[in-house]
Amino acid sequence: MYLFTCYILLFLIINLTFASFSISIYVVPSSLPLNGGEDGTLENPFSTVEQARDYLRTIIRSSFRRVALYPTYHFVKYHTLIFDERDHLTIYTTMTRDEQNRIQSSRKTNFIELDFPIISGGIHLTNWINDKGIWNIVVPASLSAVTQLFVNGHRVARSRLPATSYFTYEKGLDNRTRLAYQGFIYRENQFDNITLSSTSTTEFIIYHSYTTSRHYFSKIFPQNRTVIFSNPCLSVIGNTSIIKQSGQRFHLENVYEGMLNEEGSFYFDSITQILYYHPRKNESLQTTIIILPILETILSIIKVHQMEWNSIGIEHSAWMISKLNKSIPIDGRAAADYLDKSIVAVYLRNSSEIKFNNMEI
């Protein structure tokens, strides 16, 4: 009798454990207004990962709970998806094919079907205007720069001049002055057909002996062919004490003329907040999916114990847009000394037993 009772108890424990693990919460984004009756079931799934997270925080649990995401884009938009000590024992994964088929068709309106869920730090840009073959759109005023753009799942080029090679400047400035760190003498007629403005985010990328530095345009003096940047380099530009200074090469990024010349490239006008894109010949406004990264840190996990992420993409993190500062050096040797080291797509700290399986980041 005692042995039989033990078997019964063991059977109940196993089944309770399996039952608690097998309970799944479902997340299916919706482009339509919802009635507020979402409860995380297949019939009434949550529309955001945040809703699922907040719901699980109300449940006392001693075993894993599964959060299944529909394989489409899950845009977190302007706020980092934050997990803390309240979010232990959770598995985030993709829905099975059977679960996908049980989602009501009305919830799939205007869906972009994917092979796996993608938690995106971007926004889906629609309502582009086609102006003589160049697309343009006004982006949120909160963006001080646009450094990345994804078209049909692939990163496209930021406009560049020259498109594939380099410019060379004539020489550096007098290295006895601070200006030697902030400019150079350019070659005759070099910028005659290029739009340069101190209020733009056009960048000069200068190649040194072993590294590069990025600079924002400030002033140009045609009378002595001098260009000055708003942010200095950490060393003299065109240092004559070095025999070969990488051929004194440089190129420009985020240039309007570069976008006009190159299909599949973009240009951002920070004054008008207009983003321009030069589409490729096989791209149309009706079918092209364009995503603009706006969030630098998409996922933050702090003081979490036991969490798994399976078969999910974390994509479209932005780079250097929230704290654009045109006065600091941006040099390959010391950028980390000036930029916030916590600006990463996935931030993980003071956590244990966090597993990422078959992820795309």
At 24-51, the pLDDT tens digits run 999 999 877 666 778 999 999 999 999 9
Residue 44: the pLDDT is: 93
Model pTM above 0.75: yes
pLDDT value at residue 135: 98
Instruction: Provide the pLDDT confidence category of residue 302 given band limits of 50, 70 and 90.
Output: very high
Residue pLDDT, tens place only, 53-100: 999 999 988 889 999 999 999 999 889 999 999 999 999 999 999 999
Lowest mean pLDDT among 210-214, 319-323, 347-351: 319-323
Nearest to 288 by CA among 296, 298, 297, 279: 279
**In the structure encoding, which two tokens stand for residue 271, read together?**
């004054």
- Quickly state the pLDDT bin for 176 (edges 50, 70, 90): confident
Segment 299-315 shows an average pLDDT of 97
pLDDT of residue 321: 52
* pLDDT value for 20: 42
- Kindly state the percentage of the chain with pLDDT values over 90: 64
**What's residue 105's pLDDT?**
86
| Domain parsing of the chain, residue ranges | 17-121+295-357, 124-159+258-292, 167-253
Percent of the chain with pLDDT over 70: 84
Tell me how far apart the alpha carbons of residues 96 and 70 are, in angstroms, rounded to a whole number.
9
Nearest 5°: phi and psi at 42? -65, -30
> Do the Cβ atoms of 83 and 309 come closer than 8 Å?
no
Whether the per-residue pLDDT at 6 is higher than 80: the answer is: no
CB atoms within 10 A of CB 164: 7
Tokens of 119: 């938690």
pLDDT value at position 15? Answer: 39
| pLDDT range class, residue 238, cuts 50, 70, 90 | confident
Q: What is the pLDDT of residue 93?
A: 98
Asked whether the predicted pLDDT for residue 145 surpasses 60, the reply is: yes
pLDDT band of residue 174 (cuts 50, 70, 90) is: confident
pLDDT attached to residue 343: 72
**Does the pLDDT value for residue 304 go beyond 80?**
yes
As a whole number of angstroms, the distance between CA 301 and CA 203 comes to 34
* Cβ atoms of residues 291 and 314 within 8 Å: no
Bridge partners for 294 per DSSP: none
Is residue 8 over pLDDT 60? no
DSSP element (H, E) containing 214: strand 212-221
Please state the rounded mean pLDDT for residues 106-115. Answer: 86
Q: Tell me whether the omega of the peptide bond preceding residue 33 falls within 30 degrees of 0, making it cis.
A: no
pLDDT, residue 108, reads 82
- SS3 for 335? helix
For residue 228, which of 236, 240, 220, 237 has the smallest C-alpha distance?
A: 220
The pLDDT of residue 240 is: 58
Angstrom distance (rounded) from CA 320 to CA 351: 26
Average pLDDT, the chain: 86
Q: How confident is the model at residue 104 (pLDDT cuts 50, 70, 90)?
A: confident
pLDDT band for position 331 (cuts 50, 70, 90): low
Each residue of 179-201: pLDDT tens digit?
999 999 999 999 999 988 877 78
Of 90-94, 202-206, 235-239, 333-337, least confident by mean pLDDT is 333-337
**SS3 per-residue string spanning the chain:** CHHHHHHHHHHHHHHHHHHHHHCEEEECCCCCCCCCCCCCCCCCCECCHHHHHHHHCCCCCCCCEEEEECCCEEECCCCCEEECCCCCCEEEEECCHHHHHCCCHHHHCCCCCCCCCEEECEEEECCCEEECCEEEEECCCCCCCCCCCEECCEECEECEECCCCCEECCEECCCCCHHHHCEEECCCCCCCCCCCCCCCCCEEEEECCCCEEEEEEEEEECCCCEEEECCCCCCCCCCCCCCCCHHHEEEEECCHHHHHHCCCEEEEECCCCEEEEECCCCCCCCCCCEEEECECCCEEEECCEEEEEECCEEECECCCCCCCCCCCCEECCCHHHHCCCCCCCEEEECCEEEEEECCEC
What average pLDDT score do residues 3-12 get? 41
Q: How far apart are CA 276 and CA 258, in angstroms?
A: 11
**Mean per-residue pLDDT for 290-310?**
96
The residue ranking higher by pLDDT, 111 or 156, is 156
Nearest CA-CA partner of 300 in 39, 49, 26 = 49
**Over residues 248-265, mean pLDDT:** 95
Answer for the pair 255, 234: CB distance below 8 angstroms, yes or no.
no
